[in-house]
Amino acid sequence: MPSDAERLRLAATFDRAAAAYRRARPGYPAQLFDDLVRLAGLEPGAHLLEVGCATGTATLPLARRGFVITCLEPGPALAAQARDHLAGLDVAVLETRLEDWTATRTFALVYAATAWHWLDPRTRFRRVAEALEPGGHLAFWGATHVIPDDGDPFFTDLQEVYEEIGEGLPPGTPVPRPGELPDERADIEASGLFEVVAIRQYDWETVHDADGYLDVLDTFSGHIAMQPWQRERLDGEIRRRLAERPDGLLRRHWGCVLHVGRRTEAVSGGAAPR
């Protein structure tokens, strides 16, 4: 787990790539949102709180399903993109962190899409529980690169370039496979504030040309934070290698784990925060 300073430093990088984030960041499978609505027992018009909405990638599908959403987004450029992206829907975007925000109402669901790991692990469960109505739900998920058996070999071959620029994977790092991602059930249960309702895994594929894939990379904190020479070397190799392919395209496989928990009444009993 990164230090507080490193977590905050990397989290702040996204605001520098707000336009690319809106343009290039892939969405999530529709089935994930259908399952979330069912598992959390959400009724049309329910009030939801999204933590770290970025440009509204996960907000839009839920807003279109008829929910009233309050979004917390500390990055001013990301928040501006989200307001434009979600214009005309019943969504309010507030420029603040969960850790600094004071709720004025309770919510049926608090959720975080590829943002949960950026929250303070010592307080996030407590802060969410305090924002929920009795029996309300917490949901979080992320999006990570997974490699199926028939996946594109481009990424394995490219590891030599990452190693060259000092960004290689540590020795022994396991290859993430679709449907086999680790989950955070133990953390949810250990909070003493939530019981696990369900954990579901999803995977999907996107196809990119060189420009499109470099746009996607520009939405990842590690890529944004690279030194200019590192990015120049990596980006140049991606362009060169894709130019050698007949179609100039690569396939990237994504995986995510949806966690859904229900608030217990322990929140009013002084359970230790996490």
Q: Can you list the domains of the chain with their CATH numbers?
A: 4-269 (3.40.50.150)
Question: Which of 7-21, 36-50, 206-220 is least confident?
Answer: 7-21
More confident residue, 269 or 259: 259
Question: Which of 2-6, 40-44, 267-271 is least confident?
Answer: 267-271
Q: What is the average per-residue pLDDT within 103-113?
A: 96
- Decide if pLDDT at 17 tops 80: no
How far is residue 168's CA from residue 178's CA, in Å, rounded to a whole number? Answer: 22
What pLDDT is attached to residue 115?
93
More confident residue, 165 or 24: 165
Please, are residues 52 and 73 in contact by the beta-carbon 8 Å criterion? yes
DSSP string computed for 214-243 = HHHHTTSHHHHTS-HHHHHHHHHHHHHHHH
Q: Name the pTM for this structure.
A: 0.89
Taking the alpha carbons of 158, 163, 165, 169 in that order, is the dihedral positive or negative? positive
Tens digit of each residue's pLDDT (9 = 90 or more) over 43-94: 999 999 999 999 999 999 999 999 999 999 999 999 999 999 999 999 999 9
- Decide if pLDDT at 9 tops 70: no
Q: Which residues pair with 250 in a beta bridge?
A: 208
What pLDDT is attached to residue 25?
86
What pLDDT is attached to residue 7?
53
What pLDDT is attached to residue 5?
66
Please state, rounded to an integer, the average pLDDT across all residues of the chain: 91
What pLDDT is attached to residue 175?
86
What pLDDT is attached to residue 273?
36
Angle between helices 210-217 and 228-243 (to 10 degrees): 150
What pLDDT is attached to residue 269?
42
Question: Which of 99-108, 120-129, 200-209, 218-227 is least confident?
Answer: 218-227
